[in-house]
C-alpha cells in the first residue's frame, strides 16, 4: 500500500525557541498528486517547505521520500534525491545570466571532475555542450529562450518566477514544491501560470505541492488541499470539501461559527 | 542568435588568453635586457598577479570575504624556504611543498570558519592571518623576528611569469566549468545554491584551499626571490594590499585583478619622484578610482576586444553596468 506514496511526513514539528511554528504534522503525497497547501499568513506553510527541503531540521518527526528517510540529510542531498523548490521571495542568482542560472541547477546531473575542467579535456567540452542544450530546452519550455543572455535581475517579475521554475526543473525532481508561484502576478499572468503548471506536471511526470494565496488558482488546479492554521493541519480534502469546511472558514474569516 | 552567443564567448575567452600570454611574453622578453631594478619590479608584478588572482577566487568569485591571504603566503614562503635550506630540494619541489602546506592549512582553517558569513568571516580570517604570523615569530626553526636568511635566490622572472600564467589559466578554466558556476552561485545566494544540489561547504573549502595553494606558491617565489624573509613581510597590511588589487580590478574579474596587480605594483615605484608625497598620491589615486569606478576597473567583466570596440563606438557612454 505505501508503494504509491512519494512522500510521507510523520509527526513533523518545528520549534523556534518557545514558539511552535508547526506542530505534529502528518500527511502524505501520492505519486502524481497536485496538492495545495493553504492557510492564513504565519500559519507555518513555508516552514513546512523548509523542513521538507532540509533548510530546517525538524525538531521532531521525519520526512520520507519513497520510503527513504531524507529529513536528516543536508539540503543539497535532498535536492539530489528529487525534491526541488522555488522560493516565495525569489532567490535567483541575480548577477548571472538566465542561461547560467539554469546551468547551475544541472550541476549534480552533468558533473565531471575538476581536473577535466582545468585541463580542458574533450569530456569537459562534451558535458558543457550537453548542459547548454538541456538548459536551452528548459528555457524554451518556460518561454525564456530569448532572454538567456540577460542578467536574472533584469527580468520582469513573471519571468523571474518562471526562471525559478526552470531552475527547479533542471535538478530533475520527482517532487516540486512551489512557494506562492502566483504572488504579485496579474490575473492574465496567473492564468498562464496555471496552464504552465499543468504542462510541466504532464511533461516531467511531477508530483507538485504548492503554497498559494490565490484561491482561484488553488481551487482550479489542486486535486487535494491541506489547510494549516497556527502550525496545525485543520483540514485535508478536495477543493469542494475545503470550501464547505467550517473550521477553514473560521480560520480565514476569524468569526465564530 | 544562439551561434553568435557561442562565438562571442569563445572570442572573449581567446582574446583574454591571447592578451595575457602576449603581455607576459613581452614582459619576459624585455626583462632579459632590463636593468636589475626593473626586472626586480616585474618579478613582484608576477607574484602580485598570482596573489590577486588567487584571492579573487575566494573573495570575488566565491564571495567569501577573506583577509588572511598574507598568512597563506607566509606559510608557502617559510615552508618552501626551509625545505630549500635544510633538505636542499630543487626549487620546483620546494615551491610545491610550500603551496601544499598552505592549501592544507586552507582546508583546516576553512572547515570551521566558513560557517561564518560576511563581516564575521573577514574578522576570523584576519585573526588567522595574524595567528600564522605570530606563530612564525615565535618558532625557533623560523628564526623569529630576526628573519630567515640565506635562502637560495633561485627564482627568476621566467618562472614567476610561468606560475602567473598557470594561475590565470587554472582560474579561467575553472570559471567556465560547472565548478566555477557552483562557486559563483554561492556568491549570489547560498541558500538557493544549496537548493540547486550544490555542496556549498565543499566548494567554499575548495575555493579557500585552492586560493591558499596559489598564495603559497607566490610566497615561495617571493622567498626565493628575496633570499631573506621575516614575519614583517607578511603583516596584515600585506593582505590589505592584495585585497585592494582585487577590489580595484573588480571583484570577480580575472583580467581586472591582473591589470590592478600590474598598476598597483608599478605605481609606488613610478611615484618615487614625489619622494615623501608618494604614498599620499598613491592613496589619493585609490580613492579617486573607487569614487569613479565603485565596482572596480573592470566590474565583473573580462577584457575582450569585441566589447571594447562596442564601448568605443558608442562613445563609452554606457560603460558602467
Reported as a pLDDT band with limits 50, 70 and 90, residue B321 is: very low
pLDDT at B28: 66
Residues of A in contact with B169 (CB under 8 A): 118
Check if A111 contacts B (Cβ < 8 Å).
Answer: yes
pLDDT at B8: 53
Residues of B in contact with A80 (CB under 8 A): 197
Residues of A in contact with B189 (CB under 8 A): 91-94
For residues A54-66, give the mean pLDDT.
91
pLDDT at A246: 84
Residues of A in contact with B197 (CB under 8 A): 76, 79-80, 105, 107-108, 171
User: β-pairing, A60-65 with A175-179?
Assistant: unpaired
pLDDT at B303: 61
CA distance A106 to chain B (A): 8
pLDDT in tens, B32-89: 666 777 778 888 999 999 999 999 999 999 999 889 999 999 999 999 999 999 998 9
Beta carbons of B194 and A75 less than 8 Å apart: yes
Best mutation site among B178, B180, B296, B298 for testing chain A: the one with the most A CBs within 10 Å? B178
Closest CA to B74 of B193, B226, B218: B218
Residues of B in contact with A131 (CB under 8 A): 178
Q: Report how many Cβ contacts below 8 Å link chain A to chain B.
A: 106
Beta carbons of A79 and B191 less than 8 Å apart: no
Check if B176 contacts A (Cβ < 8 Å).
Answer: yes
Closest CA to B255 of B44, B59, B56: B56
CA distance B282 to chain A (A): 31
Partner-chain residue, chosen from A94, A112, A131, that has the shortest CB–CB distance to B188: A94
Partner-chain residue, chosen from A74, A104, A131, that has the shortest CB–CB distance to B196: A104
Partner-chain residue, chosen from A74, A118, A171, that has the shortest CB–CB distance to B196: A171
Reported as a pLDDT band with limits 50, 70 and 90, residue A63 is: very high
Q: CB of B256 within 8 A of CB of B91?
A: no
For residues B282-298, give the mean pLDDT.
78
Beta carbons of B178 and A117 less than 8 Å apart: yes
Residues of A in contact with B251 (CB under 8 A): none
pLDDT in tens, B199-245: 999 999 999 999 999 999 999 999 999 999 999 999 888 998 899 88
Check if B103 contacts A (Cβ < 8 Å).
Answer: no
Question: In the predicted model, is pLDDT for residue B107 greater than 70?
Answer: yes
Question: In the predicted model, is pLDDT for residue B315 greater than 80?
Answer: no
Question: In the predicted model, is pLDDT for residue B187 greater than 90?
Answer: yes
CA distance A148 to chain B (A): 9
End-to-end CA distance of chain A: 38
pLDDT at A255: 58
Question: In the predicted model, is pLDDT for residue B23 greater than 80?
Answer: no
Here the contacts of A245-251 (C-beta below 8 Å, separation 24 or greater) are A251/A39, A251/A40, A251/A227
Beta carbons of A117 and B5 less than 8 Å apart: no
- Nearest-Cα residue of chain A relative to residue B299: A95
**What CA–CA distances, in Å, run from A65 to A58, B192, B196?**
15, 21, 18
Q: Which domains does chain A have, with CATH numbers?
A: 1-82+173-257 (3.40.50.300), 94-171 (no CATH)
Reported as a pLDDT band with limits 50, 70 and 90, residue A3 is: low
Check if B150 contacts A (Cβ < 8 Å).
Answer: no
Check if A137 contacts B (Cβ < 8 Å).
Answer: no
Q: CB of B140 within 8 A of CB of B148?
A: no
Q: Look over chain B and give the mean of its residue pLDDT values, rounded to a whole number.
A: 83
Check if B276 contacts A (Cβ < 8 Å).
Answer: no
ipTM of the complex: 0.90
pLDDT at B29: 66
Cell digits of residue A137:
530546452
Partner-chain residue, chosen from B170, B173, B185, that has the shortest CB–CB distance to A104: B185
Beta carbons of A100 and B184 less than 8 Å apart: yes
Beta carbons of B189 and A114 less than 8 Å apart: no
pLDDT in tens, B146-183: 888 888 888 888 889 889 989 998 999 999 899 999 99
pLDDT at A257: 45
Partner-chain residue, chosen from A55, A93, A114, that has the shortest CB–CB distance to B179: A114
Of all residues in chain A, what percent are helix, strand and coil, respectively (each to 5)?
A: 40, 25, 35
Partner-chain residue, chosen from A80, A84, A93, that has the shortest CB–CB distance to B184: A93
Residue A199, C-beta contacts closer than 8 angstroms, at least 6 positions apart: A141
pLDDT at A37: 93
- Nearest-Cα residue of chain B relative to residue A52: B195
Could you tell me if residue A68 is left (phi over 0), alpha (psi between -120 and 50 degrees) or otherwise beta? beta
Closest CA to B290 of B260, B253, B318: B260
CA distance B148 to chain A (A): 35
d(CA A4, CA B134): 62
Check if B310 contacts A (Cβ < 8 Å).
Answer: no
For residue A38, list its beta bridge partners.
A227
Choice between B75 and B307, residue whose per-residue pLDDT is larger: B75
pLDDT at B1: 39
**Percent of chain A residues topping a pLDDT of 90:** 56
Beta carbons of B189 and A84 less than 8 Å apart: no
Check if A56 contacts B (Cβ < 8 Å).
Answer: no
Backbone phi, then psi, for B156, in 5-degree steps?
Answer: -130, 170
Check if B193 contacts A (Cβ < 8 Å).
Answer: yes
Closest CA to B61 of B300, B252, B222: B252
Check if B282 contacts A (Cβ < 8 Å).
Answer: no
For residue A237, list its beta bridge partners.
A225
- Nearest-Cα residue of chain A relative to residue B179: A114
Cell digits of residue B314:
558608442
pLDDT in tens, A28-53: 999 989 999 998 888 889 999 999 99
Query: Which residue in the block uniquely carries the three cell numbers 477553514?
Result: A248
CA distance B165 to chain A (A): 13
For residues B235-259, give the mean pLDDT.
88
Q: Is the pTM of this model over 0.95?
A: no
Amino acid at each position: 500500500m505505501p508503494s504509491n506514496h512519494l512522500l510521507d511526513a510523520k509527526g513533523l514539528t518545528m520549534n523556534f525557541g518557545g514558539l511552535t511554528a508547526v506542530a505534529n504534522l502528518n500527511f502524505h503525497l501520492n505519486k502524481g498528486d497536485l496538492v495545495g497547501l493553504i492557510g492564513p499568513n504565519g500559519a507555518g506553510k513555508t516552514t513546512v517547505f523548509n523542513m521538507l527541503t532540509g533548510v530546517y531540521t525538524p525538531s521532531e518527526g521525519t520526512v520520507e521520500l519513497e520510503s527513504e528517510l531524507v529529513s536528516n540529510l543536508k539540503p543539497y542531498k535532498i535536492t539530489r534525491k528529487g525534491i526541488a523548490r522555488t522560493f516565495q521571495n525569489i532567490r535567483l542568482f541575480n548577477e548571472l545570466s538566465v542561461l547560467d542560472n539554469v546551468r547551475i541547477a544541472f550541476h549534480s546531473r552533468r558533473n565531471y571532475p575538476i581536473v577535466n575542467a582545468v585541463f580542458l579535456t574533450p569530456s569537459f567540452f562534451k558535458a558543457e555542450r550537453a548542459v547548454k542544450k538541456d538548459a536551452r530546452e528548459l528555457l524554451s519550455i518556460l518561454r525564456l529562450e530569448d532572454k538567456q543572455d540577460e542578467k536574472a535581475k533584469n527580468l520582469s517579475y513573471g519571468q523571474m518566477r518562471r526562471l525559478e521554475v526552470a531552475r527547479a526543473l533542471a535538478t530533475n525532481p520527482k517532487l516540486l514544491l512551489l512557494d506562492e508561484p502566483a504572488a504579485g502576478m496579474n490575473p492574465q499572468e496567473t492564468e498562464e501560470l496555471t496552464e504552465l503548471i499543468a504542462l510541466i506536471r504532464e511533461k516531467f511526470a511531477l508530483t507538485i505541492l504548492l503554497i498559494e494565496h490565490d484561491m482561484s488558482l488553488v481551487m482550479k488546479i489542486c486535486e487535494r488541499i491541506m489547510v494549516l492554521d497556527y502550525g496545525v493541519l485543520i483540514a485535508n480534502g478536495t477543493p469542494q470539501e475545503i470550501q464547505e469546511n467550517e473550521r477553514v472558514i473560521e480560520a480565514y474569516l476569524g468569526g465564530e461559527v | 542568435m544562439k551561434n553568435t552567443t557561442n562565438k562571442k564567448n569563445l572570442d572573449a575567452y581567446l582574446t583574454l588568453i591571447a592578451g595575457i600570454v602576449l603581455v607576459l611574453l613581452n614582459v619576459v622578453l624585455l626583462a632579459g635586457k632590463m636593468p636589475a631594478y626593473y626586472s626586480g619590479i616585474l618579478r613582484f608584478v608576477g607574484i602580485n598577479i598570482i596573489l590577486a588572482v588567487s584571492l579573487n577566487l575566494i573573495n570575488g568569485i566565491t564571495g567569501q570575504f577573506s583577509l588572511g591571504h598574507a598568512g597563506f603566503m607566509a606559510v608557502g614562503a617559510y615552508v618552501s624556504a626551509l625545505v630549500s635550506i635544510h633538505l636542499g630540494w630543487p626549487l620546483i619541489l620546494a615551491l610545491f611543498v610550500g603551496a601544499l602546506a598552505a592549501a592544507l592549512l586552507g582546508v583546516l582553517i576553512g572547515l570551521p570558519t566558513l560557517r561564518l558569513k560576511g563581516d564575521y568571516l573577514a574578522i576570523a580570517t584576519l585573526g588567522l592571518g595574524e595567528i600564522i604570523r605570530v606563530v612564525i615569530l615565535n618558532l625557533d626553526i623560523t628564526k623569529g623576528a630576526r628573519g630567515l636568511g640565506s635562502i637560495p635566490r633561485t627564482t627568476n622572472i621566467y618562472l614567476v611569469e610561468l606560475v602567473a600564467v598557470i594561475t590565470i589559466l587554472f582560474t579561467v578554466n575553472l570559471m567556465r566549468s560547472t565548478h566555477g558556476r557552483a562557486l559563483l552561485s554561492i556568491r549570489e545566494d547560498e541558500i538557493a545554491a544549496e537548493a540547486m544540489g550544490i555542496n556549498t561547504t565543499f566548494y567554499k573549502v575548495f575555493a579557500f584551499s585552492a586560493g591558499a595553494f596559489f598564495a603559497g606558491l607566490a610566497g615561495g617565489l617571493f622567498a626565493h626571490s628575496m633570499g631573506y624573509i621575516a614575519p614583517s613581510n607578511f603583516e596584515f597590511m600585506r593582505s590589505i594590499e592584495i585585497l585592494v588589487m582585487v577590489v580595484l580590478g573588480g571583484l570577480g574579474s580575472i583580467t581586472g585583478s591582473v591589470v590592478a596587480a600590474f598598476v598597483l605594483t608599478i605605481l609606488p615605484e613610478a611615484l618615487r619622484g614625489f619622494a615623501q608625497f608618494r604614498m599620499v598620491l598613491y592613496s589619493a589615486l585609490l580613492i579617486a578610482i573607487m569614487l569613479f569606478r565603485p565596482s572596480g576597473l573592470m566590474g565583473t567583466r573580462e577584457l575582450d576586444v569585441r566589447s571594447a570596440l562596442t564601448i568605443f563606438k558608442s562613445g563609452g557612454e554606457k560603460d558602467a553596468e
